[in-house]
Chains A and B, each alone.
Chain A
């Protein structure tokens, strides 16, 4: 254990990592990465998934031990053996995958693992401090709530608070804005800037170019486990960064549709649905809408406003208090997953790896997760292994899933390939309706493109698509219409052609003005 004397900040460089090499069986995740972050700056670490960002940050936080290379903190060479070591040296990490104990309260999670001088936790004191931090950084969360009851967005706030609570000098944030509204993201950026001003170092991992441009002082770009370069943010552009990141030109545009949206030919009719959340509070309140054949309808909203619950109702995982829905004119019994599956509802849940898939199960098993009950996958209750494998090989090829073989557990796949497995399964069932919750969250640029393409193709084939996303750009670029959810209700139903980023953002914040959403600005150009 060692302490870094951050008080004596005579060094300009807070973190210097030199020649970091980290190998995993069959993969070199970091191949001689050099990285340097200055005291008092927001430094973006940019790269596609699999570029080595996570590995590098895991080395810095002591989770991995590098095979080669050195790390210096404030000019002192260190060897960090564990995240606890790193934390005591002043390095705090906000992970992309949360490390929270679901059954504990927010406050308990925040003090968990803290080196406690006195064994007893003073709950009210902790809560007070958490509330103070929440207010200060605009990270609204009830310190007394239990984590399992929180939405993904709220859980991320807990993660950020956890690190702030421990007063880390170097903060690493792995895709922190993925679940935040544009307004919230802006607040967070302000927080990050303020922290940098206080003399902290913020390392901001992202593959979202706008964000990087908006918040960082400098950007280090990784590609294929190697450092491509470090640039001053002021002297670069999104286009340059994109080129550095993917090694080729990329254009974000409104998707091109081949098929027709038929809003007048409904495949999904939702009428007056109300449902509780896990805590027994009303999460979905009297929601009605229609999705037409081939139509892509976006659902915007800040995480925790009932979108997840709505998706779960449609997927059959959550019972309703009132109301119901029909698929292609046939009433579906709510709260019965098999009914939804039978009716042709494909469901891509928010938590892909643990709800949409059985993480430790193989790719091939996950591909039949919903069809194992019937012939030809099972005959007389006996699972037909050969058929499952053949089915898997075919889908792996068709959906271009990068996996060593069909027997590999999906948890070993990258995020993009995980999503491909999920899409492959859901689409292979030939659905009428697709309900997708945050389908591209946490994916890299290349994978996002692929996922969007698959979804649009499905719509072109006539599938009615409901996309729930906190990524407004995504909704704007894909959907025909955008529904805005706020506190369980739909408070806006805006044709995308009439939507602006700002107007939707205001609706997400519950602000309904006279001309809400009905702007004549036409298609908002996605800034790229």
Chain B
């Protein structure tokens, strides 16, 4: 028996869908979530109220959401930049790590210098490290046609091993010599900590502001520059790009490098804004790179939208921690978050496809 419904690709996407579908998605998420809540004996209205309140409802809630959102904004942009041109760089995770390694190196070395100087050096180093690490993926793809999914994934593991080595298995520059018991990164001097800004009383990490600026720059790069034009054509049709005399190899390398550089700045922000050490264990368990792919997908691979989506996901994450406790198991929170993401992604599919009823044969 086949399903009476089938998906049909839309020839064009009506503008109205762009707004309607997200609304319907949210509606569906609320309904499905409510069913889940009722099944587990909770009042859906108070639960949703608590999610909104603890994710976005107060200055402290917003501050927490922005903290959770900042790394995701970078990794989301990293994924969006390559995915939108058909390169599947899932190496944001490793590029983020390597960026953090580079940034903490200068952060530690220049800790005593003026704050602005140190911050600038950290950003540059994060960018260089992340970019160079990603460039490996780009070069392998452009020169040897290696599958970038596999290489970027392998480099994620390698970056993890490198973190472990630097903190756990050696007395590297990054390791705190006092942490003989449990190995930990050397803490950054407080002078090198990145400042936080206040906007309407909400604390905003410097990294988040950088993410917004970068998102706008990348958007401009893609929409308005020669580089963006070429990259767009390469993504649309590599044949046409070759036909028009574009150097596809260098563009592929450049795009992957750019995405890695952004992930690397994310790594710098993680060190400078939040952890103030190279946290080998925490970074690997956070999984920012992989969540970033979800962020990018929900943002429809728009770099700037990725920053916005990161805030929503960050808020949801933050609200999740606030929500859970003895009366609300973390597994249930996870299920609820998964449900919201699932409906969002399903809605995204609906903007590209439409559901048609399959009529069956009338005579035999």
A–B contact (CB under 8 angstroms): yes
B237-A2 in contact (CB<8A): no
A25-B227 in contact (CB<8A): no
Minimum CB–CB distance from A56 to chain B (whole Å) comes to 17
A76-B363 in contact (CB<8A): yes
Known: A2-B361, A347-B243, A355-B239. A369 touches B6 (CB 8 A): no
B240-A354 in contact (CB<8A): yes
> Does residue A222 face the partner (Cβ distance < 8 Å to B)?
no
B356-A65 in contact (CB<8A): yes
Q: How far is the CA of A316 from the CA of B245 in the complex (A)?
A: 8
A25-B361 in contact (CB<8A): no
Smallest Cβ-Cβ distance to A379: which chain B residue: B226
B362-A79 in contact (CB<8A): yes
Binary flags per residue of B47-78, CB closer than 8 Å to A gives 1, else 0:
00000000000000000000000000000000
Q: Which of A2, A337, A351, A383 contacts B225 (CB 8 A)?
A: A383
Known: A355-B237, A360-B236. A412 touches B224 (CB 8 A): no
B243-A356 in contact (CB<8A): yes
B239-A351 in contact (CB<8A): yes
CB-contacts of B117-144 with A (<8 A): none
Smallest Cβ-Cβ distance to A385: which chain B residue: B224
A25-B12 in contact (CB<8A): yes
> Does residue B308 face the partner (Cβ distance < 8 Å to A)?
no
Minimum CB–CB distance from B219 to chain A (whole Å) comes to 13
> Does residue A1 face the partner (Cβ distance < 8 Å to B)?
yes
Q: How far is the CA of A315 from the CA of B245 in the complex (A)?
A: 9
B226-A341 in contact (CB<8A): no
B240-A369 in contact (CB<8A): yes
A79-B360 in contact (CB<8A): yes
A81-B359 in contact (CB<8A): yes
Q: How far is the CA of A65 from the CA of B236 in the complex (A)?
A: 29
Residues of A within 8 A of B362 (CB): 77, 79
Q: How far is the CA of A484 from the CA of B358 in the complex (A)?
A: 52
Minimum CB–CB distance from B356 to chain A (whole Å) comes to 7
Most chain A CB within a 10 A radius of its CB, from B2, B12, B245: B245
Smallest Cβ-Cβ distance to A24: which chain B residue: B11
B245-A337 in contact (CB<8A): yes
Q: A-B contact count, CB below 8 Å?
A: 93
A365-B229 in contact (CB<8A): yes
Q: Which of B226, B359, B361 contacts A378 (CB 8 A)?
A: B226
Q: How far is the CA of A358 from the CA of B229 in the complex (A)?
A: 11
Smallest Cβ-Cβ distance to B360: which chain A residue: A79
Known: A349-B243, A369-B240. A383 touches B224 (CB 8 A): yes
Minimum CB–CB distance from A29 to chain B (whole Å) comes to 12
Smallest Cβ-Cβ distance to B241: which chain A residue: A358
Known: A24-B11, A382-B225, A412-B12. A369 touches B363 (CB 8 A): no
Binary flags per residue of A460-472, CB closer than 8 Å to B gives 1, else 0:
0000000000000
CB-contacts of A322-339 with B (<8 A): 336-338
A372-B2 in contact (CB<8A): no
> Does residue A359 face the partner (Cβ distance < 8 Å to B)?
yes
> Does residue A317 face the partner (Cβ distance < 8 Å to B)?
yes
A381-B227 in contact (CB<8A): yes
B224-A338 in contact (CB<8A): no
A361-B245 in contact (CB<8A): no
Minimum CB–CB distance from A423 to chain B (whole Å) comes to 15
A81-B6 in contact (CB<8A): yes
B363-A370 in contact (CB<8A): no
What 9 additional pairs, Cβ within 8 angstroms, besides A77-B361, A79-B360, A337-B242? A25-B12, A65-B356, A79-B361, A82-B6, A356-B243, A358-B240, A359-B240, A360-B236, A383-B226
Complex A-B: 10 CB contacts under 8 Å: A77-B361, A316-B245, A351-B239, A360-B236, A361-B232, A365-B232, A381-B226, A382-B226, A383-B224, A412-B12
